[in-house]
Amino acid sequence: MTSAVVGSNLLGDLLSRPRPAEWASLREAAERRLAGRELPTTSDEDWKYTDLKALAELSSGPALKAAVDISSYLLPEMVGTRQVFVNGHHAPHASCSSAVPAGVRFFPMSTASEACHALGTVGEGAARDLFEELNTARFVDGAVILVPKNLKVALPLHLLFITKAEAPTVVFPRVLIVLERGAELELVEEHHGEGAYLSCPVVEIRVAEGAILHHERVQREDPEAFHLGTLKAEVAKGGQYHSRTLTFGARLSRQQPWVRLAEGAGTTLDGLALLDGHQVADTHSFILHAEPHGTSHQLHKCIVDGRARAIFNGQIRVAPYAQGTDAKQQSRNLLLSESARVDTKPQLEIDADDVKCSHGATVGALDPEELFYLQSRGLNADDARNLLTYGFAADVLTHIPVASLRRTLRHLVMARTQADSLGDLS
């Protein structure tokens, strides 16, 4: 067993875990690329604002199978369409796929590894992050979703990743989603946990011609946990990928969505991070307009309280000859406390001339005039502040298609912004 990675016990420990038997060549290739790599530091431009020092100290015991009570995570629309993974292992008793429509395949990767030849092929040629490589080298199990041609799945699917760490550990959730031509799907992916651990999920998505995927992603890890996730999506001609990533948990988290758009393809990549205490939440997104007439819209909002830090690095690249591209990117940040901090860097790189591209970023506190207005209508100062804070967050939640999830998240945001004292605003 090689532990060629130097400079960090964490990496060495992880690679000294036994290599699972499936996908041997994929894992070997990842290990080769990992040789000599170290945990990034803040002198790496990509990690300039996100310090992983605390992560290097995390020890990594094995991720054991555990029993969990999932009742609080269940959503009524998706009772019979869920797959649950605990500590990286499939949890068959907690999962239920009785209501999954015929034709859709939604199963744990470990049960049919041979079917997943697409694994590890999304975003080939793009830079691979260290944590993505680690996942490939050592993931144990994950979910596969295959939707056949022209099938529009009526019920949303539910993916639950739960980590229960008695002792510090590292888990590698893995997801592969393939939508064939003209297929449509709604998916809810949630991450919950207890204890001190690192979760490194990798999600690979292929959206074929004219297919549409709506993807809601909720990160509610333990306040002591780390979450470093990678998502790669390739959207074929006329296809659409719409995602919304909601960050509530983890002491340090990073989302790295990467989306490639073919001709006429579209994406929305929205995000909301609600941070307090010493939380750090980082989003590094990359949208590649590789072919003409693609559309991308990105709205990323952060509400930062306590001593928390929000980081946004959003890159939009328009390849040569990707004419007719329409790209819009917004980074909006609300600072609620003296010691909160925001670092944002929206970026446009454009190599075609007939394009409509814009980006914007704002950082600031609540508008005193808006606060005054609400007070003039009889709200006290705290309620006015909380209502405006909730309102800032709420527009990201408005379009969540799954009603019960939308309600749950609204209540969560209301509680976090203390707007719940104003009654039910949802």
Partner 1 sequence: MSTTFNVVTSQEYKYGFVTDIEADSVAPGLNEDVIRFISAKKGEPDWLLEFRLKAYRHWLTMTEPEWAKVDYPRPDFQKIVYYSAPKAKIPKYASMDEVDPELLRTFEKLGVPINEQATLAGVAVDVVFDSVSVTTTYKEKLATVGIIFCSFSEAVREHPELIKKYLGSVVPATDNFYAALNSAVFTDGSFVFIPKGVTCPMDLSTYFRINNKDSGQFERTLIVAEEGASVSYLEGCTAPQFDTNQLHAAVVELVALDHASIKYSTVQNWYAGDKNGVGGIFNFVTKRGLCKGKASHISWTQVETGSAITWKYPSCILLGDDSVGEFYSVALTNHKQQADTGTKMIHIGRNTKSTIISKGISAGDSSNSYRGLVKVMPKAEGARNFSQCDSMLIGQTCSASTFPYIEVQNRSAKVEHEATTSKIGEEQLFYFQQRGIPTEEAISMIINGFCKDVFRELPMEFAVEATKLLSLKLEGSVG
Contact footprint for partner 1 (CB under 8 A)? 45, 49, 320-321, 323, 333, 335-365
Report, in Å, the least distance between residue 86 CB and partner 1.
39
Please identify, using beta-carbon distances, which residue of 243 and 333 lies nearer to partner 1.
333
Q: Which is nearer to partner 1, 28 or 367 (CB)?
A: 367
Of 152 and 356, the one with the shorter C-beta distance to partner 1 is: 356
Q: What is the smallest separation between the CB atom of 360 and partner 1, expressed in angstroms? A: 5
CB of 311 to partner 1, least distance (A): 10
Residue type, 130: L
Residues 6+ apart with CB under 8 A from 240: 207, 211, 212, 213, 265, 266, 267
Give least dist CB 294 to partner 1, A.
Answer: 15
CB of 212 to partner 1, least distance (A): 28
Per residue, the 3-state secondary structure of the chain, as one string, reads CCCCCCCCHHHHHHHCCCCCCCCHHHHHHHHHHHCCCCCCCCCCHHHCCCCCHHHHCCCCECCCCCCCCCHHHCCHHHCCCEEEEECCEECCCCCECCCCCCCCEEEEHHHCHHHCCCCCCCCCCCCCCHHHHHHHHHCCCEEEEEECCCCECCCCEEEEEEEECCCCEEECCEEEEEECCCCEEEEEEEEEEECCEEECCEEEEEECCCCEEEEEEEEECCCCCEEEEEEEEEECCCCEEEEEEEECCCCEEEEEEEEEECCCCEEEEEEEEEECCCCEEEEEEEEEECCCCCEEEEEEEEEECCCCEEEEEEEEEECCCCCCCEEEEEEEEEECCCCCEEEEEEEEEECCCCCEEEEEEEEECCCHHHHHHHHHCCCCHHHHHHHHHHHHHHHHHCCCCCHHHHHHHHHHHHHHCCHHHHCCCC
Closest among 268, 248, 261 to 401, alpha carbons compared: 268
Nearest approach in angstroms of CB 129 to partner 1 is: 19
| Rounded CA separation 195/187 (Å) | 26
User: Shortest Cβ distance from residue 308 to partner 1 (Å)?
Assistant: 12
* Token pair recorded at residue 119: 């694994």
Considering the complex, state which of residue 79 and residue 365 has its C-beta at the smaller distance from partner 1: 365
Least spacing, CB of residue 289 vs partner 1, in Å: 12
Cβ 288 to partner 1 shortest distance, Å: 14
CB of 318 to partner 1, least distance (A): 8
Phi, psi torsion values for 382, nearest 5 degrees? -65, -45
